[in-house]
Amino acid sequence: MTATDSAATPDTLREELAAFKDPALARGLAQSIRALTPTKPDSAPITLMEVCGTHTVSIARNGIRSLMPDNVRLASGPGCPVCVTSNHDIDKVIALAKVPGLIIATFGDMTRVPGSSSSLLAEQAAGADVRIVYSPLDALTIARENPEREVVFVGVGFETTTPLVARAIQRAQNEGLPNFSIFAAHKNMPGALEVIVNDPELSVDALILPGHVSTIIGVEPYQFLAERYKIPGVITGFEPNDILQGIAMIMRQLHEGRAEIEIAYARSVMAKGNPVALAAIDEVFRTSDATWRGIGVIPGSGYEIREEYADFDAMRRFAPAVEETVEHAGCQCGNVLRGVLRPDECPLFRKVCTPENPVGPCMVSGEGSCAAYFRYL
Ligand code: SF4
């Protein structure tokens, strides 16, 4: 019986879910990883990168690094949506927050991310109306309840959140809601992966691919990794044994000299993804170049609102003056997001930069590598 079986009872579901954390299974998977891990001819470490913030946190919280063979390095990549949002985009949101009478609706993490000279939290303290929401649909509700006010939802994230934002825009249009718009800074993952596998400083051998994003996009957008770059990738879930199973499958591929994109998260991910969500994205957004913190501009890695929905684009609607972008001196978030620096190698880690006093977004976000290292290592 599987977790998706209609005959499953709460008890059997609980048992199945417990298996994803079962220590005996974890030990068996760790043994398989050790048995399958090859040695490189130059004795260099085998670098696996996870590109999902939820994986980053789960790996740290569950001590998965300590289960790896000595020659395996688990590097964290640009998988935290708040962290990869550029300083310039943060400054744009802050400029919007200063527009008189405007309500900013955003996920909580975004309020504490420092821009060049301010943050949403600082603007809120100075009188801006900044509200924390859990979904773009909450922002729609705020717009309906405040017809005399303009409401802007801050849209950051990958393919997981983009369809929801697309749906919110479609709903606003269908309802004729004139006071709702979006700051659109969504990104897609495959473009960033191409930069990562071409980074000579990093030298990635295989990728632990994101479960949530893959429920939307499926397998096909990753195939270039295997076909063009001969880099194996396994899509996996977020429980400790999901991740260990994904790593074991990667090691088997490396051991056998294969490079394929495999799914270790079949309870959620289908090869073709979610066509309904993809259609919603395509209806409202078109791909555009996007700036990633630490990486720079990646062609085709962002989403911008199509002309047909231009009225819902907050930057076009309000065109606020945006201050000149200044990067934070000393913050190594960019190198952390590229996986070339461990958070504890940043000179400010724990000394100056803490979750209570974050210098960069990697320490702010619950999915940030620096925050995960601070909490669990
Ligand atoms: Fe930036 Fe703080 Fe992380 Fe250093 S520890 S890279 S300052 S967020």
* Pocket residue to mutate for ligand 1, from 331, 364, 369, most atoms within 8 A of Cβ: 331
- Residue 281: pLDDT band (50, 70, 90) is very high
Is residue 263 predicted with pLDDT exceeding 80?
yes
CB 364 less than 6 A from any atom of ligand 1: no
Give the mean model confidence (pLDDT) for residues 33-50. 93
Q: Which domains does the chain have, with CATH numbers?
A: 21-377 (3.40.50.11740)
pLDDT digits (tens, 9 = 90+) for 113-172: 999 999 999 999 999 999 999 999 999 999 999 999 999 999 999 999 999 999 999 999
CB 349 less than 6 A from any atom of ligand 1: yes
Residue 2 pLDDT: 45
pLDDT digits (tens, 9 = 90+) for 319-372: 999 999 998 888 999 999 999 999 999 999 999 999 999 999 999 988 899 999
Which residue minimizes the CA distance to atom 8 of ligand 1?
360
pTM confidence score: 0.91
50 CA distance to ligand 1 middle (Å): 19
Give the CB-side neighbour count of residue 229, counting CA atoms within 13 A.
20
**Percent of the chain whose pLDDT exceeds 90:** 87
pLDDT digits (tens, 9 = 90+) for 288-330: 999 999 889 999 999 999 999 999 999 999 999 999 999 888 8
Query: Which atom, in ligand 1's list, is nearest to the CA of 353?
Result: 2
Neighbours of 174 (CB within 10 A): 8
* Pocket residue to mutate for ligand 1, from 85, 333, 365, 375, most atoms within 8 A of Cβ: 333
295 CA distance to ligand 1 middle (Å): 16
Residue whose token pair is 């799914």: 263
Q: Report the chain's mean pLDDT, rounded to a whole number.
A: 94
CA separation (Å) from 254 to 59, 230, 231?
Answer: 21, 10, 9
* Pocket residue to mutate for ligand 1, from 90, 363, 375, most atoms within 8 A of Cβ: 363
Give the mean model confidence (pLDDT) for residues 67-93. 95
Residue 277 pLDDT: 97
- Residue 16: pLDDT band (50, 70, 90) is confident
